[in-house]
Amino acid sequence: MTTIFTWLGVISCLLGGAGALYQLVVLAETHRFFRTRPRPPTRTEPVTVLMPLYGDEPGLAANLRAVLDQDWPRLQLVCGVQRADDPAISVVREIQRERPDADLVLVVDARRHGSNAKVSNLANMLPSARHAQLVLVDSDMRPRRDWLRAVQGELEATQNGVVTCLYAGRPRSRVIWSRLGAQAIDHGFFPSALLGWRLGKRGCFGATIALSRATLDRIGGFARVQDELADDYALGAAVVAENGGDREALRLAPHLIDTGVNEPDFRRLWAHELRWGRTIRTLDPAGYAGSGITYAVPWALFGAIWLGFSPVSCAVLACTLLARLALVWRVDRGLSSRPTPVHLVLLRDALSVAAWMGVHCGRDVAWRDHAFRVERDGRLRDRDRASE
């Protein structure tokens, strides 16, 4: 048993050391991102923003106002719901009364196209778009005034391409689960996505997808992704394929958009993270399995425990903790956020390891109060039908 614990300890310390190196690499990539300035646009063509809605989520009215307040001369905002009794309708109507001069359109259409409800919503909204330039944005996003300028400036640099943005998590409540959810985005997803982009693993994010109507038509419209769980990623992949596999057709704007995180309890947070993780695992199974190495502090802690907190194992643990805190500090500084307490960093890492393990224990996901099963090809099936 002593030999087994020794080997487990050595392996865990090696994984922790590798994880510390990963933290330093993404720290450099994060620093580079925050120092990059967006490309200014040379034209100000009219833009239609498509925002699919589902329910009166916290901060929705402020999110709508943030889109309408963009520093852009001609902007149309099209919102869509699929149920006539959706609470989001009253929020949109209130904004319409508040700003009668705004080009704000509400589409209520129950038609379904495939298994992805959000894509069905977008397909129903598209006929109301009046402009040739389209920007898709999720309803929980709250952009700054210079968002469209940053996106359109980057879109000008690619012909027949698509532009996306990363996002930062902003807790919409004071409960700890919302804060932990925001940390998963800021200190986990955001820096790892930057590194993945550098290494060639690129995809669109729901925070922003900007493309022309002509480009969307060339890939077959929203029907191309109507059964995909990762519809954002699939849409970007379709544009790249349409451009002969040219990765430069998919660009990342050096701009962050805020997303509201409102996890009222552990159950909702856990369901969200399982859906998120299983989406990523479906897109890149080997990459997701290998992402376990990024949890440097838990691995080093396991190693120290199995080795009886020997001097070497304690040194590895200290190095991994310092590397992790350095990354967290740089992200918090770049986002102008308050420094995250050490105990929350450790709690978040422990929860991330548990979610990483849980993702490998099934294929069911909960999404918008519906249960689905993720097939191996990334498509969604109703869980009841999947069991037939």
Phi, psi of 49 (to 5 degrees): -100, 125
Which whole-number Å values give the CA distances from 239 to 46, 152, 162, 221, 377, in the listed order? 22, 17, 7, 11, 19
- What is the model's pLDDT at position 292? 86
Co-location of 125 and 211 in the same domain? yes
Which residues form the domain of 21?
Answer: 2-32+285-357
Beta-carbon contacts of residue 53 (< 8 Å; ≥ 6 apart): 60, 79, 80, 81, 86, 88, 92, 121, 139
Closest CA to 254 of 344, 160, 112, 154: 154
Q: Is 216 inside any structural domain?
A: yes
Q: Using the 3D structure, point to which of 224, 256, 282 is the last residue of a domain.
A: 282
Low-confidence ranges of the chain (pLDDT < 70): 1-2, 283, 362-388
**381 belongs to a structural domain:** no
Inside any domain, residue 346: yes
User: Is 148 found in the same domain as 94?
Assistant: yes
Q: Which of 52, 206, 30 is nearest to 121 (CA)?
A: 52
Structure token digits, residue 17: 């050391």
Same domain, 261 and 201: yes
- Which among 282, 297, 325 is the end of a domain? 282
- Axis-axis angle for helices 190-198, 2-35 (nearest 10): 80
State the SS3 of the chain. CHHHHHHHHHHHHHHHHHHHHHHHHHHHHHHHHHHCCCCCCCCCCCEEEEEECCCCCCCHHHHHHHHHCCCCCCEEEEEEECCCCCCHHHHHHHHHHHCCCCEEEEEECCCCCCCCHHHHHHHHHHHHCCCCEEEECCCCEECCCCHHHHHHHHHCCCCCCEEEEEEEEEECCCCHHHHHHHHHHHHHHHHHHHHHHHCCCCCCECCEEEEEHHHHHHCCHHHHHCCECCHHHHHHHHHHHHCCCCHHHEEEEEEEEEEEECCCCHHHHHHHHHHHHHHHHHHCHHHHHHHHHHCHHHHHHHHHHHCCCCHHHHHHHHHHHHHHHHHHHHHHHHCCCCCCCHHHHHHHHHHHHHHHHHHCCCCEEEECCEEEEECCCCEEEEHHHHCC
- 383 contacts 371 by C-beta, under 8 angstroms: yes
With respect to residue 160, please indicate whether it lies within any of the assigned structural domains: yes
For the chain, what's the residue count? 388
pLDDT number for residue 362 = 66
Mark whether 87 and 191 lie in a shared domain.
yes
Q: Are residues 210 and 293 in the same domain?
A: no
At 158 the pLDDT is: 85
CATH label of the domain that carries residue 52: 3.90.550.10
Place of tokens 């990483």: 356
Co-location of 266 and 292 in the same domain: no
Question: Which residues fall within 8 angstroms of residue 211, CB to CB, at 6 or more apart?
Answer: 134, 155, 161, 162, 163, 239
d(CA 357, CA 298): 13
Q: Retrieve residue 13's tokens.
A: 């310390």
Q: Which residue has the tokens 């129903």?
A: 124
- Is the residue at 122 inside a domain? yes
C-beta separation of 269 from 177 below 8 A: yes
Question: Do residues 143 and 260 share a domain?
Answer: yes
Q: What is the CA 262 to chain-centroid distance, rounded?
A: 15
346 and 331, same structural domain?
yes
Q: Give pLDDT, residue 366.
A: 57
What confidence tens digit (pLDDT) does each residue in 353-365 have? 999 888 877 666 6
pLDDT tens per residue, range 249-273: 899 999 999 998 988 899 889 888 8
Asked if residue 367 belongs to a domain, the reply is no
- For residue 372, tell me if it sits in a domain: no
What integer pLDDT is reported at residue 375 of this predicted model? 61
Domain contains 386: no
Do 273 and 289 share a domain, yes or no?
A: no
What is the spatial distance between Cα 273 and Cα 290, in angstroms, rounded to a whole number? 17
- Residues 177 and 271 occupy one common structural domain: yes
Shared-domain flag, residues 264 and 302? no
Q: Residues 67, 71, 77, CA angle at the centre, nearest 5°? A: 30
- Write phi, then psi, for 264 (nearest 5 degrees): -70, -25
Among residues 265, 282, 299, the one where a domain terminates is 282
Number of domains in the chain: 2
pLDDT, position 246: 83
Q: For CA atoms 69, 209, 334, 38, give the dihedral sign.
A: negative
Same domain, 90 and 201: yes
- Nearest Cα to 24, choosing from 184, 195, 252? 195
